[in-house]
Amino acid sequence: MDALLEAALAARKHAHAPFSGFQVGAALEDDSGRIHTGCNVENATYGLTICAERVAVFKAISEGARKFRRVAVAADTGALTPPCGACRQILWEFCGDIEVLLVNLEGRSESLRLKDLFPRPFDATFLS
């Protein structure tokens, strides 16, 4: 299996999801090939929960990475789990039209482009 998919599946095991029970892992590959992982981290307020994808992006940014090639998202669902709307916005801002790989625990995977998941985005080009 692709190392990025394996990294997302491994990161999922660290999920802190006591409220939903829905565990998600993410793995983001930067332009040097380094993989930055994340899992969802839930909060008792619910609203402060952060998704696996955003954890991976923010970890990567905080470690100096700025260009990204691919992101993988792992969850235990038959219909492969895509990034939520908030994560699509964050991924677009930091990664642009990145390849998005979805994978489940059976190892079934799919490759998508972020622009197809997130058409007509609002981004910094509107602010200039």
Residues near ligand THU (CB under 6 A) are: 17, 20, 22, 24, 40, 42, 49, 51-53, 73, 81, 83-84, 87
Cβ count within 10 A of residue 67? 12
Catalytically active residues are 53
**DSSP letters spanning 89-118:** HHHHHHHSS-EEEEE-TT--EEEEEHHHHS
**Nearest-approach distance from CB 88 to ligand THU, in angstroms:** 9
**Nearest-approach distance from CB 32 to ligand THU, in angstroms:** 25
For residue 2, which amino acid is it?
Answer: D
Q: Toward ligand THU, which CB reaches closer, 22 or 122?
A: 22
Query: Is residue 111 helix, strand or coil?
Result: strand
Residue 88 CA to residue 122 CA, distance in Å, equals 11
**Nearest-approach distance from CB 127 to ligand THU, in angstroms:** 27
Q: Toward ligand THU, which CB reaches closer, 39 or 65?
A: 39
